[in-house]
Structure 1
Amino acid sequence: MRTRATVVRAVWSAVVIALLAVLVPLGAVAVWADRVLGDEEEYVVVMAPLAEDGAVRGAVARGAASALARQIEAGPVEAGAERLLGEATSSFVGTEAFRTAWNAANRAAHTAFTDALDGGSGDTVTVDLAPVVAEVKADLTADGVPFVDRIPVARTAITVMEYENLGTLRRGFHVLQNAGVRLPAVTLLLLGASVVFTRRRRALLVAAGTGFAAGGLLLAGAVSVCRRLTLDDLPADVDRAAAGVVYDALTAFLRTGAWAVLGAGLVLALGAWLSGRLPSRERGRISPRVSGRVPHTP
């Protein structure tokens, strides 16, 4: 009978661990898709610090300079145009005006991204440099550089991510976005109900902590593997250093969440396990003393 009960507990613990190992990463990604990628303001907040990153600044400067140079056909100016524009854009990306233009560009990028996921076509995520180009053009015009005022400010995009099948990503994104905070909330609710109604709370908490830790570890591994695969699949003309910085910024929520859940799970599992071990040891220490106080009968 005891053997059968032990097997049932082991199976139940394995089920709890497996479910949490799956639901925890899915819940984290669902919240991330809804609250980070799906929200324009949060997206801009996440991307804003990248205006200070050297790799991103370099990629933006080169992209803007190349876009401007392609539109200049002005005889002697054309020969030195790319060098001049390169110096101008490199200088511009260190200014406060660039940070303002960068935020505007990312608002446009988020709109394009959500439009693509809402049914558009294409397989790339790009940042439109038109706001940056407009600012550089205004600076060069103010400095008296000839012919620059004639350059049209057209959409100038640099690719930061590319996917082979955006349709699959679109469907998955909508499922996760609709789940949002509901999935982790339902997971915690079910776990709480199980703790309330089970007779073996300690065993359940040990299994739950282990499941949380496993889920956090799987999430951290998935973010790392997806980073490598994403950067490896980029075209040769995409700046991998800048793309890596963008990926890391966008997935910072997931990485932080993964390690937080891993740590919390380990603390929960270890705490529940120790709570069942320590009392038994105390009883083992006390019982000899008690027996030693029994008076001797001659």
Structure 2
Amino acid sequence: MPSRLRNAVSAALIALSCLLLPFGALAAWAAYGLADTGRYVTAMAPLAADPDVRDAVADTVGAGIVHEADIGPPLRPLVHDAVRSFTRTDAFRTAWDAGNRALHDAVLRAVRDDSASTVTVDLAPVAAEVRTQLAYDNVPLAHRIPVEHAEVAVLPPGDLTGLRTGFHLLEVAGFWLPVTAAVLGVTGIAVATCRRRAVTATALGTALGGAFLGLAVAVGRRLTLTDLPEEIHRPAAGAVYDALTTTLRTVSWTLVALGLTVALTTWLLNRHQQPSPPPSRL
């Protein structure tokens, strides 16, 4: 194969490898990180102490209990205050972890089982704590708050179809995109006539892909918060987004640092091995 053709093929393979790299990292994060219940619960656990998240939970859970118990307007502020007080206890942190684990398991079952129609969260543990607190405060009709069955739908049937399709695609892409990117990069370096130059180009492309991934995470955060219908819950949603994308941001900075380090090392080695010019004769 002529040298010019080899270099062209090498450049195309390396460019395609670096282009697939951020998408592969994103797909792998979604398929193997976000879909792992243990990692999800660990990432969400610190948010139990976040004030914005606690306020959002208090508003959502309080509204759910009021709706399920059909509590009248005079008692609704008392229910919300009781829920808000509960979110500042150690029991809430335990319930937060258990609730996130149950929610994650329910979503995974729904996206993997085509027969599931909706995803719900059982508020019974929280409702029991709130009812106990209200009864302790001698609030009338506290006994009307249900604790045996208080479920709130978090994913309606209409959203599950698209979610299932996307999840199945991510499971495939999460494995094959990184593998394809690695194979293309190695092949591009092997085909090149000057492999050291190809390694430098691959390293710089890796750093650029990492920077693109970091930019995508930042843009995704902005778009996610902008699309929220309730502005009051945007700080809480931002905290959740940041907790879930911590791994992506770490991968982004790692790719940038690794790519620049390899490129700089290759450049220094190339400069060190260049022959010195012969001494001039007087």
Number of aligned residue pairs: 276
Alignment partners' CA distance in 2, 1:186 and 1:20: 7
- Residue 31 of structure 1 pairs with residue 28 of structure 2: yes
Residue segments in structure 2 that go unaligned for 5+ positions in a row: none
Alignment partners' CA distance in 1, 2:36 and 2:125: 21
- 2:276 aligned residue (276, 280, 283): 283
- Residue 59 of structure 1 pairs with residue 52 of structure 2: no
Name which structure has the greater RCO, CA cutoff 8 Å, separation 6+: 2
CA shift digits 1:102-132 (9 cap, x unpaired): 112112221332244334567xx98664433
Q: SS of the counterpart of 2:276?
A: helix
> 2:14·2:188 contact (CA, 8 Å) conserved in 1?
no
Equivalent residue letter for 1:272: T
- Matched residue, 1:94: 88
- Residue 82 of structure 1 pairs with residue 76 of structure 2: yes
Alignment partners' CA distance in 2, 1:19 and 1:193: 11
Alignment partners' CA distance in 2, 1:116 and 1:223: 26
Identity rate, percent: 44
Alignment partners' CA distance in 2, 1:261 and 1:165: 34
Which protein has the larger Cα radius of gyration, Structure 1 or Structure 2? 1
TM-score, normalisation: structure 1: 0.78
Equivalent residue letter for 1:56: V
- Matched residue, 2:42: 45
Alignment partners' CA distance in 1, 2:11 and 2:124: 54
- Matched residue, 2:205: 211
- 1:232 aligned residue (226, 232, 242): 226
Indicate how the Cα distance of structure 1 residues 250 and 121 shifts in structure 2: closer, same or farther if over 3 A, else same: farther
- Matched residue, 1:22: 19
> 1:108·1:127 contact (CA, 8 Å) conserved in 2?
yes
TM-score, normalisation: structure 2: 0.82
What's the CA shift for 1:195? Answer: 4.5
**Which consecutive segments of 4 or more residues in structure 1 shift more than 4 A?**
4-8, 71-74, 125-130, 164-169, 192-199
Indicate how the Cα distance of structure 1 residues 242 and 212 shifts in structure 2: closer, same or farther if over 3 A, else same: same
Larger mean CA deviation between 203-212 and 112-121 belongs to 112-121
Residue segments in structure 1 that go unaligned for 5+ positions in a row: none
